[in-house]
Amino acid sequence: MNDAAYLCLADGTQFEGRALGAAGRTVGEVVFTTGMTGYQEVLTDPSYTGQLVTMTAPQIGNTGCNPQDEESVTDRPHVAGFIVRDASDRASNWRSEETLSAYLTRHGIAAISGIDTRRLTKHLRDGGAQNGAIGTDAPETLVRIAREAPAMTGQDLVARVTPSRPYEWTEGSGDWCPEKLRGLSDEGTTRHVVVMDFGIKRNILRCLVDSGCRVTAVPATTSATDIMTLQPDGVFLSNGPGDPAAVTYAIETIRQLLGQRPVFGICLGHQLLALAAGAKTYKLKFGHRGINQPVKDLATGRVEITTQNHGFCVDLDSLVGKAHSTHINLNDGTSEGIEIPDSDAFSVQFHPEAAAGPHDALYLFKRFTDRIDRARSS
């Protein structure tokens, strides 16, 4: 599509560009991610549910799209819309099976290209993430739609992406297995990990398998009793979208699970673990999204470069007396990890599985399996 299109923000700011992908209009929270690569992983990460995602890298789509880079277990994009500066109409990569435009059209995702994404990103950094609408309608119509859309705070978006029933996951990374995880899995492995699926990425599941786990994923609404009936050796809390404080049912389940089995949480799972411990969360001005976020491990002093995608954060002050802070973000000092020693539970705000991104924090999967092994032998 080459029709004129608009991105209009709730504050009245307008950007004119060209329609990309599916026809129609869409609305959601406008955010940005700074990753230079990994646009298909962004499109298919369930954590982006309800959001219009801006890529700050100027040219997007030049390597096309393929089934191998899907991060959703449902094989579909989850973004509400997509915003790029220059959408490549050519795809050049040995794994590519279709262009970005064809991919977006096939999945019904409305997008826009040709806008000044640098200006948009600076606007969001100054004013904060806000609702916006993409479409070929008159700008005043799109502004009204953006203003009428619900704010991200208070929304339980996990309900949109969590599975309707439990499922087993057996796929590892195969030939693509990172060196840090290679050799951790073997055919005799009997560790059983139950994953609370709040909108999990495939590569997290693959990393658990690569680490020597038998994986059963369950819906977010699964009770603590039903989880323990599955006889897990450990419980994993996945990433996911929306406001963690709105997912009250999962918070209560996690609270009941604490102390029964080792627990490891990532991203939304980190926030939910903190809430279950009695801490608080709040919304960041524009969030952390990208594959180059520096994080400091407070125990070792080691700095890791991490992949992140979140708009909410754990309140560090509220952790006092409830959990220990283990990692902080070096850009703004916000929470990046906690531990609850008495409950054998820990979590991180970033994504150690990458996809896309660096592998600095892959050791956390082994930390989880080591805790499982110690708990089983005690």
Using CA atoms in the order 200, 291, 337, 368, what is the torsion angle rounded to 10 degrees? 50
351 is catalytic: yes
Catalytic-role residue among 304, 310, 353, 359: 353
DSSP three-state, residue 208: helix
Distance CA 130, CA 146 (A): 9
Tokens of 109: 């995702």
Residue 353: active-site member: yes
DSSP-derived 3-state class of residue 374: helix
The catalytically annotated residue of 78, 123, 270, 351 is 351
Beta bridge partners of 236: 195, 264
What is the 8-class DSSP label of residue 299?
Answer: T
User: In whole angstroms, what is the distance from residue 322 CA to residue 328 CA?
Assistant: 17
Distance in angstroms (rounded) separating the CA atoms of residues 304 and 296? 6
The reply to whether 267 belongs to the active site is yes
Q: What is the C-alpha separation between 51 and 314, in angstroms, rounded?
A: 21
Length of the chain: 378
Of 267, 310, 327, 359, which residue is the catalytic one? 267
Surface-to-core class of residue 307, CB atoms within 10 Å of its CB (0-12 exposed, 13-18 middle, 19+ buried): buried
Identify the residue whose tokens are 């990172």.
Answer: 178
**The token pair that represents 112 in the structure block:** 């826009």
Q: What are phi and psi of 319, to 5 degrees?
A: -80, -20
Tell me which residues are annotated as active site. 267, 351, 353
